[in-house]
Amino acid sequence: MSEVVAVATRARAAAAALAPLPRKDKDAALRAMAEALVRRADEVLAANAEDVAAGRDAGTSEAMLDRLTLTTARVEAMADGLRHVATLPDPVGEVVRGSSLPNGLELRQVRVPLGVVGIVYEARPNVTVDAAGLCLKSGNAVLLRGSASAYRSNTVLVDVLADAATAAGMPQDSVQLVPGTDRSSVKELMQARGLVDVLIPRGGAGLINAVVTESQVPVIETGVGNCTVYVDAAADLDKAVAITVNSKTHRPSVCNAAETLLVHADVAEAFLPRAVEALKAEGVTLHADARARAYDPSAVPVTDEDWAAEYLSLDLAVGVVDSLDDAVAHIRRWGSGHTEAIVTRDVDQARRFVRSLDSAAVMVNASTRFTDGGEFGFGAEIGISTQKLHARGPMGLTELTSTTWVVTGEGHVRE
């Protein structure tokens, strides 16, 4: 038995023991995990510093280094996330719907854990904590396979979380790190059908496409974030500048950062000079079409690759459009279906924008940065799904459950 199959087998046993546990036991474990994170923060930060140093030596981009880096504040935030998840309702056992049939049978559709959830992700060690907490609360055993670049960080984090969870009464092996740092261990995980119930990839397009196309285990697909801000003809320009700058620069290395800005031609002259000044003050490089370059001659001429890009950096593709319909057409061609935002005072235009798009989240007069499990009140997220089956958008506790039909009779037999 390979090491990957061995941890998946142990996770299968843990999932069976974890599923029936009451909320109070899981919440106590989450609080214990949070306290352990804070108590052992020095170990976590020391391991993370080694990962960051190795990444810098290997020429890793600043965007990826930002995703990789932990600080005392980020560790505290991860612990707070666990504490918040402990306060949320437990979806397990929730009755989704029910009815009484004419023959007297009572039907209930009840939420149950998925079972064993595998997470394959890149760089961000905070995913280790978010995924462990959400899976535990929703009654699932979790197998965590982070990238080699964060292996030291993830090893310590999983040790901290697993030790605390087990000490608090959770089944042994409820939280495990998948062994290995090369692609072979991911491939084994993708072939563990029957042991792993679902895989969730988080990362760049290459990782997600590989898991979706090669996995024998069912996959919930998270998507890359080519997000767009559209400034409508009826926009409040003060709000438009603030939303654009926040969407792009608040944390450019994450998937809900804006990568494209589209501006209605009627407000381009009034808006773009202000926006260009504010964006460049934050160090943003603009990749602009000919009409937008009239307001920033130093901008890089935009290409098809720019329109399609998830930069994850201080780069922004900018274009001027003649109508909302043109903006929608552009987004449908180049966007990734993650998050789009419209800035407008016209309610009808806002409604038309929302109805015309096919994205997991649409913001009206708000930053794209709000597409986030924590911001949505989920405590954290397992990922942001851009597919259409089972789950879409930020995936919290409910999205980590399936359902069982419970049928109650009084000796009923079918005739």
Same domain for 237 and 211?
Answer: no
43 found inside a domain: yes
Same domain for 235 and 206?
Answer: no
- For residue 301, list its beta bridge partners: 288
Same domain for 359 and 269?
Answer: yes
- For residue 121, list its beta bridge partners: 202
What is the rounded distance in angstroms from the CA atom of residue 280 to the CA atom of residue 298?
11
Q: Contact at 8 Å (CB) between 310 and 317? A: no
Same domain for 131 and 270?
Answer: no
Q: Which amino acid is at 116?
A: V
Same domain for 252 and 304?
Answer: yes
What is the rounded distance in angstroms from the CA atom of residue 96 to the CA atom of residue 184?
40
363 found inside a domain: yes
Residues of the chain with pLDDT under 50: none
Q: Contact at 8 Å (CB) between 148 and 181? A: yes
What is the rounded distance in angstroms from the CA atom of residue 37 to the CA atom of residue 32?
9
pLDDT at position 186 is 94
Alpha carbon distances (Å) from 59 to 126, 182, 309: 22, 19, 21
Q: Contact at 8 Å (CB) between 153 and 70? A: yes
Same domain for 61 and 153?
Answer: yes
What is the rounded distance in angstroms from the CA atom of residue 131 to the CA atom of residue 157?
12
pLDDT at position 93 is 96
Q: Which residues of 221-245 are buried (b: 16+ CB within 10 A; e: fewer)?
A: bbbbbbbbbbbbbbbeeeebbebbb
The domain that holds 66 is classified in CATH as 3.40.605.10
Same domain for 194 and 309?
Answer: no
The domain that holds 340 is classified in CATH as 3.40.309.10
Same domain for 174 and 48?
Answer: yes
110 found inside a domain: yes
Instruction: Quote the tokens at residue 330.
Output: 């552009």
pLDDT at position 285 is 97
23 found inside a domain: yes
Same domain for 211 and 274?
Answer: no
Q: Domain limits at 191?
A: 3-222+395-408
Same domain for 114 and 263?
Answer: no
376 found inside a domain: no
172 found inside a domain: yes
284 found inside a domain: yes
Question: Tens of pLDDT along 14-55?
Answer: 999 999 999 999 999 999 999 999 999 999 999 999 999 999
Distance of CA 78 to the CA centre of its chain: 15
Q: Which residues of 291-319 are buried (b: 16+ CB within 10 A; e: fewer)?
A: bbbebbeebeebeeebbbbbbbbbbbbbb
What domain count does the chain have? 2
Q: Contact at 8 Å (CB) between 143 and 118? A: yes
Q: Which of 323, 18, 275, 4 is nearest to 140 (CA)?
A: 18
Same domain for 12 and 43?
Answer: yes
Q: Contact at 8 Å (CB) between 279 and 244? A: yes
Instruction: Quote the tokens at residue 191.
Output: 């072939």
